[in-house]
Amino acid sequence: MPEVKGIPVAPGLAFGRVHIVRSRPDSVPLWTVPGEAVQGEIDRLGAALDAVRDQLGRQQEIVRRTTGEQDAAIFAVHRAILEDPTAVAQVERRLREERVNAEWAVQALIDSLHKQMSGLDGDSVRRYAEDVSEPWVLVRDQLLDRDAEQVSAGQGKVVLAAAELTPQVVTFLERERVLAILTEAGGRFSHGAVLARSFGIPCVVGLPNLLARLEQDMQVLVDGDVGLVTLRPGVETVDEFLERQQQRRARKLALDAVSGEPAVTPDGHAMAIQVNLESIRDLGTFPVQTCDGVGLLRTEFLYMERSQFPSEEDQYRLYRRVVDHMEGRPVVVRVLDIGGDKQLPYFQMPAENNPALGWRGIRVTLEWQDLLRVQLRAALRASAHGEVRLLVPMVGSLEQVRRVREVLESVRSQLVEQGYEVADRVLLGIMIEVPSAVVVLPDLLELVDFVSVGTNDLVQYLLAVDRDNAFVSGLYDPHHPAVVRVLQQIATACAAAGVPCSVCGELAGDPAAALSLLGMGYASVSAAPNFLPELRFVVRNTTLAEAQQLAQDLQRARTSREVHMRLAAERRRLHRAVGVEGV
């Protein structure tokens, strides 16, 4: 019963038969065209271009209506690529001069686009090459008369398996027929992955050689929570899996029923449960009363979903939408955090030997201050309509915070001079991700209004373990005693300075860990939308004294195992409280 481990992109469980999507033809035929037939090939090319432009227009409209303007924009970009007269002329020239068939000439263009990009480094550049050639692939397939997606070829509900997840493939899925999506290529941030997540379809990517191991209609189990795919599972495994699925449903119902209740402990201590947002689409995935605001708006994803830097006006509109949607709840806008694995297709960053330790987050935006200024202008303008707070990523020193404050004040004065309305006070916070920030925290706290701990990065920098490196993933341990103690150190320093602190890394989504944070003195946690009901539930079922006891026990732990065992005991207590397994 082989298992394949990939990157979990969208959570959820699924069991079903596989439908393999062969989204690329294996070969493109080549033939020589007689002189008198050349015009016929040019006409075929023109007809295919027209058909694909029409198809993209229709797709754009469907997506605009179902998921919004922003997702639909990619189709407009693809249409614009096909309008480019230079590329069309290049293909026509090849038809005339080389007297080849149209599909071959289009394939030659696709190859040359890839070649131009292959000299450059970086996954995002390769993805950009894919994006630029994607509409031409549609033209080629139109000429070959192939159904590029072939999704509709399957019958009934299926687990879709593909080499890669293009936005086209995801957008045109009949959602109710797709149990899960598996792909060989891709990362958490690819277009297709972003869409799958927003559609709520369990999805695992980064499964090299998967297709070679699958057969059409083979049965598989997909665990989108941890990124595990089991091929041809045995009866017992399937039974266990179905039971888990059943428990999940029961638990979801139980939790949903109380998810609008305030997150207050039985002895009256409130902990704000906030939401992490990666996209505007996430807004539709949870009832607004199940959260106490947005604790982390990862703005780089808003940038990543575009083909160029969003203008001040674009950003203002996006932040306004979030602020309006949250109906008076605070919205923490994180300043652009690019670099490392988060690259923008239109912003060429230098190749670095050690990107996690390189040009990232505030290190980039303090150098490219025009980016920072545009973003701060948009966020400050949105602050006139609701509570916007600003959060600075990757801070390691006082100087960085002072410089951001200077830029913020200058942007504010400029806006006021220009007659814009801006909130009187916009809180400025920092992310605690870099160990040096923990060491100088008492001094930093004199300069900021709040802090939010980014445990995803803090763990990698504290333990010197790359968060994206599979070779050391066993060493990436958020429950290492060093992490537990540093988290307490941060909460204690914040309490002494009277500065509220929160945690917005993945750790905050773990209910038992969130309770330990409550016991340490954290005022809030912020997690992805699907964790909100559970987090509210556990706070409502734990006294502050119990949470403090948990925190103290963890402080005494000397090994990760001791931390894990104490958290497991806490989970067992929570299981008993909710009455169904699985919290």
Catalytic residue ranges: 191, 504
H/E segment holding residue 387: none
Q: What does the chain come to in residues?
A: 583
Identified binder of ligand PEP from the candidate list 135, 206, 386, 454, rule CB under 6 A: 454
CB of 531 to Mg ion, least distance (A): 18
Q: Nearer Cβ to Mg ion, position 265 or 400? A: 400
Identified binder of Mg ion from the candidate list 12, 167, 186, 454, rule CB under 5 A: 454
> Which letter does DSSP use for residue 342 in this model?
B
505 forms part of the interface with ligand PEP (CB under 6 A): yes
Nearest one of 401, 195, 387, 144 to 305, comparing CA atoms = 195
Stretch 315-354 residues interacting with ligand PEP (CB under 6 A): 337
Distant-in-sequence, close-in-space partners of 410: CB < 8 Å, separation ≥ 6 = none
Q: Nearer Cβ to ligand PEP, position 16 or 454? A: 454
CA distance linking residue 287 with residue 532, whole number of Å: 10
| Partner whose footprint covers residue 455, from ligand PEP, Mg ion, none (CB < 5 to 8 Å by kind) | ligand PEP
Q: CA gyration radius for the chain?
A: 26
Distant-in-sequence, close-in-space partners of 20: CB < 8 Å, separation ≥ 6 = 161, 162, 211, 214, 216
457 forms part of the interface with Mg ion (CB under 5 A): yes
CB of 528 to Mg ion, least distance (A): 14
466 forms part of the interface with ligand PEP (CB under 6 A): no
| Partner whose footprint covers residue 298, from Mg ion, ligand PEP, none (CB < 5 to 8 Å by kind) | ligand PEP
Torsion of CA 114, 115, 120, 122, to 10 degrees: 30
The number of beta carbons lying within 10 Å of the beta carbon of residue 341 is 16
Q: Nearer Cβ to Mg ion, position 104 or 450? A: 450
Which one of the spans 39-47, 282-290, 351-359, 450-458 is the region binding ligand PEP (CB under 6 A)? 450-458
506 forms part of the interface with Mg ion (CB under 5 A): no
Which one of the spans 145-153, 262-270, 448-456, 483-491 is the region binding ligand PEP (CB under 6 A)? 448-456
Q: Nearer Cβ to ligand PEP, position 184 or 278? A: 278
456 forms part of the interface with ligand PEP (CB under 6 A): yes
CB of 506 to ligand PEP, least distance (A): 7
CB of 391 to ligand PEP, least distance (A): 10
Identified binder of ligand PEP from the candidate list 197, 298, 381, 389, rule CB under 6 A: 298
295 forms part of the interface with Mg ion (CB under 5 A): no
Identified binder of ligand PEP from the candidate list 168, 279, 455, 488, rule CB under 6 A: 455
Which is it for the CA torsion 34, 37, 42, 44, positive or negative?
A: negative
Stretch 380-439 residues interacting with Mg ion (CB under 5 A): 433
| 479: β partners | none
457 forms part of the interface with ligand PEP (CB under 6 A): yes
CB of 446 to ligand PEP, least distance (A): 24
Helices and strands in the chain: count of H runs, count of E runs? 22, 16
The number of beta carbons lying within 10 Å of the beta carbon of residue 321 is 14
Token digits of residue 248:
């999940």
CB of 343 to ligand PEP, least distance (A): 13
Identified binder of ligand PEP from the candidate list 504, 517, 525, 532, rule CB under 6 A: 504
On the CB side of 284, how many CA atoms lie within 13 Å of its CA? 9
Q: Is 405 helix (H, G, I), strand (E, B) or coil?
A: helix
Q: Nearer Cβ to Mg ion, position 56 or 404? A: 404
Sheet holding 13-21, edge to edge: 3-5, 228-231, 219-223, 13-21, 158-162, 178-183, 203-205, 7-10
| Partner whose footprint covers residue 8, from ligand PEP, Mg ion, none (CB < 5 to 8 Å by kind) | none
The number of beta carbons lying within 10 Å of the beta carbon of residue 280 is 23
551 within 8 A of 520, measured Cβ to Cβ:
yes
Which one of the spans 210-218, 261-269, 421-429, 452-460 is the region binding ligand PEP (CB under 6 A)? 452-460
Q: What does the longest C-alpha to C-alpha distance in the chain come to? A: 88
CB of 298 to Mg ion, least distance (A): 9
Distant-in-sequence, close-in-space partners of 355: CB < 8 Å, separation ≥ 6 = 339, 340, 341
Distant-in-sequence, close-in-space partners of 424: CB < 8 Å, separation ≥ 6 = none
Q: In terms of C-beta density within 10 A (0-12 exposed, 13-18 middle, 19 or more buried), how is residue 397 classed?
A: middle
Angle at 260 between CA 257 and CA 263, to 5 degrees: 115
The number of beta carbons lying within 10 Å of the beta carbon of residue 483 is 19
CB of 518 to ligand PEP, least distance (A): 18
570 forms part of the interface with Mg ion (CB under 5 A): no
CA distance linking residue 386 with residue 376, whole number of Å: 15
Identified binder of ligand PEP from the candidate list 433, 534, 546, 570, rule CB under 6 A: 433
Which one of the spans 7-15, 446-454, 472-480, 495-503 is the region binding Mg ion (CB under 5 A)? 446-454
| Site size for ligand PEP (CB under 6 A) | 10
| Partner whose footprint covers residue 505, from ligand PEP, Mg ion, none (CB < 5 to 8 Å by kind) | ligand PEP
The number of beta carbons lying within 10 Å of the beta carbon of residue 119 is 7
The one-letter code for the residue type at 162 is A
| Partner whose footprint covers residue 529, from ligand PEP, Mg ion, none (CB < 5 to 8 Å by kind) | none
7 forms part of the interface with ligand PEP (CB under 6 A): no
Residue numbers at the binding site for ligand PEP (CB under 6 A): 296, 298, 337, 433, 454-457, 504-505
